Every structure is written in structure tokens, then in C-alpha cells.
Amino acid sequence: MNHLTYVPYSEDDIDYVNTEMESSYDPPNYRDLQKYQQLAYTAVERINVEKFFKQNIKNFDNTEVSNIELRYNMKEEKAKIPDYTLFSDPSLNKKYKSLKNKVLKNLFIIRNTCFYCNPLYKIKSIPNFKTDNIVSIAALDNICKIFEIPREDQSSFKFIDIFSKGSFTEYLIWKARKNNINVTGHIYNIKENNIHGDAFIPKNDENINISVYDCEKDLNLKNENIKKFIESVTDKMDLVCSGFTLDHDDEDLLQENIEEDYYQKLLIQIIIALSTLNHGGNIILKVYDLYQSFTVELMYILAAHFEKFSVVNSVSTSINNCKRYIFCQNFKGVNEELINYLFDVNEKINEITNIGTINWHKLLKDEKMVVSHIIENEIDEDFVIDMQSLNMKYLILQNEYYERLLNMMFEHYRYSIDISDVIRECQKQWNLI
């Protein structure tokens, strides 16, 4: 794989939703100390949220992959610390680790500073909504135009919500009711995300029909339960979405994501999506890692089966946790061979982990063999360049973000944010009333 020399980016390769914005691609926070001071002396409700919190969508060039016949084969290697330079840049990654270590050493102070870098990050709930991810989803809808998916019956909408607290379900039901649209939905798996009783469990009526498939923790990773859920979805879906969240506090989100069953859950989301989507349907999946061969190859498979493959940075994303969304449009269909193969990959992962949460530290210690590659094809150069470019830009944003956090460590007490004003601004911005 060719190593890329970083070239300063421009708007040529970023499609901004808000075209009136300036051409820089800053992290979703205020640009300098002057802006922080402005926030201190200006009522938040008078600030246009989109002026400071940019929404953007990066469209990948998947022309070549659409014409390639993918060859599927699992490759196993001894478990090792993930290489975050494979699809990015070593020097940027080195700087990122250095800054992150400084942040970790001052985390008690830094935690109080994050809110001033992104006031939306402080919002835990919006009035009349139960779940805490509504702002992100409303911002996504502003970009993805969820209900504009082409479908035969415009008066109805069918979706699946996977591995979340039901935030997508709550938002989609709310939006459907506003537009007099009948909704049919399926949720998999909400039980393990409802430990604190903060998940959204919908109530059905004549216009809303939502089914919930639940099983015990970790059993949702078994092929048997995944297949049962897919069989319960009798109609093809317009949208498959996931708001999967890592079960960590802020300080843990600054750590490397190497101890999660995240990779397997991403695989399962894709299996469900490819198995249940209607031709022309879309998917929206939350991702945390686009640096490893396994995840990039999963993205490559998606790019081959959709007309358009994009990565979206939501308006309320906090740079420190790498959260992004994959947005794939116009599903082209899939053959049964691929579905069966992905089930085989999942079965192999279950064998390695004994159907339990992946603990990378234990896998490393025991020198376990893990699945590292799932396709034989060399990934198309244009796709690799797009992925490397996106990851390098994101590392630059993270580095700038950490530098500003460190610079503000002893300054945050000078500023104040009225969270109720921020909430009112969000309600106006996305009509969340």
C-alpha cells in the first residue's frame, strides 16, 4: 500500500451541507479564544448553532469497487495491538498519542473543559424525548433526508434499529407522526442497553407497529439469534440504522478501542442490513474505527453493494471519541453466498471468544488467532486514498481539539454556558418541538 504524503485539504473533497460556511474544516468547537469569550458574553440563544458546529458528508469514490467481483476468504493472525497508521499517517498518529497522554494526565480538569468546546456535548436530553441521542439523529436527518428514501408507498416507512437505546426509533416515530406516515419497525437488541431504564420502548397504535427482539447479553452475537431476528422481518426495509454506543465514560473513550466487541457488532449490523434491506434502501451505521483492515474491508463490501457510500460527521460529535456515521444509499441487492460467508466470519469470531465480549488484552496474552482480513481483493486505490485522507483529517482535528483542551485547562472557569439556552437553540434549529 502506498504511503501518502499529507497535502492540506480543501473544499474540493468535502461536500458541505451548509455552503455559506468558511472553507476551513475545523473541529466542531469554537475556533479561538476570542470565540470562547464571545460565548461568555453573548446569550447562546442568539448564536446560530450551525455557525459553530459544522455538519459535513464525505462522499467516497466507489466507482471501481462497483465493477469488481469481490473474492471472500478469511485470514487469521495472532492478536496484536491495532495499527492505527495503516490507513492514516504515522506522524499524525504519534502526535495524537502524545497529546492524548497529556489529556489523560489532566483528565479531572479537562472533563470540565469539554463542554465549552462543544455545548451540544453537554445536552443529555431534549424535552419530550427520552433518549439522549436525539440531537445527533436530528442533525443526521438534516443531511441524510431520511424520509426521502424512494419507496413505493410514500405513506409508510419501514426500518430496523440495531444495538441501540432506541434513539433512532424514537426520532423516526416522532417525525412520522408529524408527517402522517405509518411506521413499521424492528429493534434488535435493546435489552442490554436498558440497564438504567433510559431506553425508548415504543407503544404501538394504529399507525405505529414496532416489534422488539431481545435476548440475553452476548447471545445477540450468536448466529442462531441473528437468523431468528432476520426471519421475523417479513417485509424488506427502507432503512437499517444503528446508534451503537461504547459502554465507557469520557475518560475511557480517550483510550484505544481495543477491548470492545465493537468489531463483531459492526459485522452483525452489516449482516442484518444486507439481509433485510429493500432495493433502493439506505443504511446509517455509527462507527468508531476506520483504521483497521477488518473494518475497512467491511466498508469496502458496503461500497460494492450501494450506489453511494459516504461518511458523515454529526453536528454534536465530540472529537475525542472518534464517532462517525456511515451513510449508504440505494442498495443494489446481495447474493446469498455473501450473507452465508459473513455468518461464517461471525461464527469464527464466536469460536475465538467463546461467545463473549472480546477482551483484546486476554487475546494478546493467550496469543490467540483472530480474524484480520475477510476479502482477498486488494482494495481499490481510490477507496484507500479517500479513507486515508478522511482519517488523516480526523487526526488533525483530534490533535487541534486536544491542544485547545490543554490550553483551556485553567481558563474554563471564565466562561459560562446556560444549557437551557443551548437546548432551545437546538429545538429551533431542527424543529424538535
* pLDDT band at 47; cut points 50, 70, 90: very low
Lowest mean per-residue pLDDT among 102-116, 212-226, 259-273, 374-388: 102-116
CATH of the domain at 392: 3.40.50.12760
Q: Using a CB cutoff of 8 Å and minimum separation of 24, what contacts does 193-198 make?
A: 193/163, 193/164, 193/165, 193/166, 193/245, 194/165, 198/130, 198/131, 198/132, 198/165
Please indicate, yes or no, if residue 3 is contained in any of the structural domains.
no
* pLDDT band at 366; cut points 50, 70, 90: confident
Q: What percent of the chain clears pLDDT 90, i.e. is strictly above it?
A: 32
Max mean pLDDT range (78-82, 112-116, 313-317, 368-372): 368-372
Describe the chain by its helix, strand, coil percentages, rounded to 5: 45, 15, 40
Q: What percent of the chain clears pLDDT 70, i.e. is strictly above it?
A: 71
Residue-wise pLDDT tens digits, 276-311: 999 999 999 988 888 889 999 999 999 999 999 999
Buried residues in 64-92 as b, exposed as e (16+ CB within 10 A): ebeebebebeeeeeebeebebbbbbbeeb
Residues 6+ apart with CB under 8 A from 36: 30, 116, 408, 411, 415
Please indicate, yes or no, if residue 38 is contained in any of the structural domains.
yes
- pLDDT on residue 32: 37
Instruction: Give dist(CA 369, CA 349) in Å, integer.
Output: 10
**Is the per-residue pLDDT at 196 higher than 60?**
no
Domain with 171, as residue range(s), is 11-430
Max mean pLDDT range (50-64, 222-236, 309-323): 222-236
**Is the per-residue pLDDT at 42 higher than 80?**
no
Please indicate, yes or no, if residue 362 is contained in any of the structural domains.
yes
Retrieve residue 407's grid coordinates: 490550553
- For residue 17, give the DSSP letter: S
Report how far apart the first and last C-alpha atoms of the chain are (Å, whole number).
50
Mean pLDDT rounded to a whole number for the chain: 77
Please indicate, yes or no, if residue 197 is contained in any of the structural domains.
yes
* pLDDT band at 105; cut points 50, 70, 90: confident
CB atoms within 10 A of CB 292: 18
More confident residue, 122 or 248: 122
Phi/psi-derived region of residue 163, left when phi > 0, alpha when psi is between -120 and 50, beta in every other case: left
Please indicate, yes or no, if residue 2 is contained in any of the structural domains.
no
- pLDDT on residue 177: 93
User: Which single residue is written with the C-alpha cell 405505529?
Assistant: 208
Max mean pLDDT range (55-64, 168-177, 189-198, 385-394): 168-177
- pLDDT on residue 246: 58
pLDDT (mean) for 51-59: 67
Q: How far from 379 is each of 87, 166, 303, 309, 372, CA to CA, in Å?
A: 12, 34, 11, 15, 15
| pTM higher than the cut 0.75 | yes
- pLDDT on residue 251: 38
pLDDT (mean) for 80-100: 84
Instruction: Give dist(CA 360, CA 366) in Å, integer.
Output: 10
Please indicate, yes or no, if residue 214 is contained in any of the structural domains.
yes
Dihedral sign for Cα 131, 133, 139, 140, please: negative
- pLDDT on residue 416: 65
**Is the per-residue pLDDT at 11 higher than 90?**
no
- pLDDT on residue 308: 95
Lowest mean per-residue pLDDT among 133-142, 173-182, 201-210, 348-357: 348-357
**Is the per-residue pLDDT at 20 higher than 50?**
no
Strand 182-188 and strand 156-162: the pairing is parallel
Structural domains of the chain, count: 1
**Is the per-residue pLDDT at 148 higher than 90?**
yes
- pLDDT on residue 130: 87
* pLDDT band at 314; cut points 50, 70, 90: low
Q: What's CA 327's distance to the chain center, in Å?
A: 9
Please indicate, yes or no, if residue 1 is contained in any of the structural domains.
no
pLDDT (mean) for 47-70: 71
Please indicate, yes or no, if residue 34 is contained in any of the structural domains.
yes
pLDDT (mean) for 252-269: 65
Residues 6+ apart with CB under 8 A from 176: 147, 157, 182, 183, 207, 208
More confident residue, 395 or 248: 395
**Is the per-residue pLDDT at 3 higher than 50?**
no
